[in-house]
Amino acid sequence: MLLACTVGTLSTTAIADITVNGAGSTFAHPIISSWSENYNQLTGVKLNYQAIGSGGGIRQIEEKTVDFGASDAPLAPERLEQQGLVQFPIIIGGIVPVVNLPGIKSDDLKLTGELLADIYLGKITQWNDDAIKAINPDLNLPAFPIIVVHRSDGSGTTFNFTHYLGLVSQEWTDTVGVNTDVAWPRQATTIGGKGNAGVANFVARTRGAIGYVELAYAKQNNMTHTMLQNKEGKFVSPDLNSFSKAAANADWVNTPTLDILLNDQPGAESWPMTAATFVLMHEEQANAESAKAILDFFKWSFGEAGADTALALDYIPMPDDVVEIIEGVWSERFQSNGKVIY
């Protein structure tokens, strides 16, 4: 049965009661979950999404066990071509350091990228270390050992976090590197958590802990986030303004593969750890109905209702000019039995 619906200024036709399956990014799970619930109520289309981490999402779409994957680590053009995949961004958000320090509230504690790298390298092991005290002279920092919490699964959040640390610390680049999963330095006292939710959970219950999560998880769990020094030397808070300032520097129009990394962007108000989530789908689709339903879903998410939901959860919607590029990619690339799907 065909069900036509109009949401705001967007008119779309979807197949009622169809179910599509996706997996991957935990970074984008709060927004994809909210979108899918709202879209199901409007259209009857069911979107099942498993937040198993970007690495899992990439693996499952390559193995064709899901209809789409979602990753915060964009795939290289060579791998996309090898696997017959199309990649497009759907949302922008921010990665934030979160801490568990009694008496310290959000935005009380200031960190630099270099300090964050040294903490994860295990070079700074106490919260009252002189290097931390030097930029936080008015804080009563406890003499707690620092417990480093990181992702234990293949993670796009980890990819962007380690990419940022590599930009600000040559030692990080030389000894740890950038990937969805890395060998964390043994000299640091560490705990591994599965997904953004796992990291948030461990930080919330471990005194002296520090971790990195998408801002929505920090807010949902009433966690304490830090300020962070950006490329211009300014200490900024993680919020919609600082994320949007960082995203505004991206040249999507002149990047045909749309695989842009948003870390350490210039601008006095830019948040240093900003990232996009990318959807991965096979260029050749066996089931045109399912593929069309997924693209209709994301077209709706790019519209007014989806954008409002994104902003409410502290994500940045894709700009209109980028949406035009994405829809152009859809019309050029996705096919089923030799016929254009979209």
- The pTM (predicted TM-score) of the whole model is 0.92
Report which of 216, 254, 197 is spatially closest to residue 51, judged by C-alpha positions. Answer: 197
User: Which CATH number covers residue 194?
Assistant: 3.40.190.10
Does residue 231 belong to any structural domain of this protein? yes
Domain count, the chain: 2
Same domain as 299, residue 185: no
List CB contacts of 245: < 8 A, sequence separation 6 or more: 265, 267, 269, 270, 271
Sorting pLDDT into bands at 50, 70 and 90, what band is 10?
A: very low
Same domain as 111, residue 71: no
Same domain as 234, residue 102: yes
Does residue 108 belong to any structural domain of this protein? yes
Domain that holds residue 150: 95-247
Same domain as 104, residue 53: no
User: 103 has which bridge partners?
Assistant: none
Same domain as 99, residue 89: no
Q: Rounded CA gap, 159 and 148, in Å?
A: 17
Tokens (6 digits) for 315 = 């994500």
Q: For residue 44, give the 3-state DSSP assignment.
A: coil
User: Does 219 or 258 have the greater pLDDT score?
Assistant: 219
**Tens digit of pLDDT for each residue in 24-33?**
999 999 999 9
Same domain as 155, residue 223: yes
Q: Rounded CA gap, 243 and 314, in Å?
A: 9
**Tens digit of pLDDT for each residue in 127-140?**
999 999 999 999 99
Same domain as 163, residue 37: no
Same domain as 144, residue 212: yes
